[in-house]
Amino acid sequence: MRHEVRFSGFGGQGIILSAVILGRAAVMYDNKFAAQTQVYGPEARGGASMSQVIIDDEEILYPKVSDPDIYVIMSQEGFEKYGAVARDPAVMLVDSTLVHSRPECRYIGIPATREAKQTLKRDIVANIVMLGALVAATHVVSEEALKKAILDSVPKGTEDLNIKAMQLGLQLGKQP
């Protein structure tokens, strides 16, 4: 089954890393195909950034996302620039701490930044919280594949923090 996933937020939130981790989980641990692309402005840190992943059971012949069915939006500017066009039947996960607009499609509010800051004392892992919530809500990759891909991708010495962030996201994504 094909999924087109669009991540958006501001530079420094780990938007591109999130897409890389998701693609890695699909390819290396769930035996699927994936293609990842990214866009960020010259302002990089602080400006809107966007990254996309196509995940499919079959080879991907065209790597550009044309109609995302899953959105992960982590900033208001990211919503306005890359998420406002979302329509049914897409689903959108929004970081309800930072995104105040709501889409026309089905959405799930995840207080990722708030929970990362309050529960884990590190808002830098909000993107990993969102990845956990994404997997819990959509099953786009398996939880085990996500865990392995996170461990492959994060800096040495931060593995425990990032796995706790993923687990927190899994809990938040499973709530109705």
DSSP string, 99-112: -----SSEEEEE-H
Q: Give Cα 157 distance to the centre of its chain.
A: 22
pLDDT tens figures, 44-88: 566 789 999 999 999 999 988 989 999 999 999 999 999 999 999
pLDDT of amino acid 88: 92
For the chain, state the CA radius of gyration: 14
Amino acid residing at 15: I
Q: How far apart (Å, rounded) are the C-alpha atoms in residues 65 and 87? A: 15
0.85 exceeded by the pTM?
A: yes
Domain that holds residue 44: 3-174
Domain count within the chain:
1
Report whether 55 contacts 23 (CB < 8 A).
Answer: yes
pLDDT of amino acid 72: 98
Q: How far apart (Å, rounded) are the C-alpha atoms in residues 150 and 108? A: 23
Phi, psi of 18, rounded to the nearest 5 degrees:
-60, -45
pLDDT of amino acid 170: 98
Runs of H (alpha helix) within 48-156: 76-78, 112-119, 126-138, 143-153
Q: The CATH number of the domain where 52 resides is what? A: 3.40.920.10
pLDDT of amino acid 11: 85
pLDDT tens figures, 110-165: 999 999 999 999 999 999 999 999 999 999 999 999 999 999 999 999 999 999 99
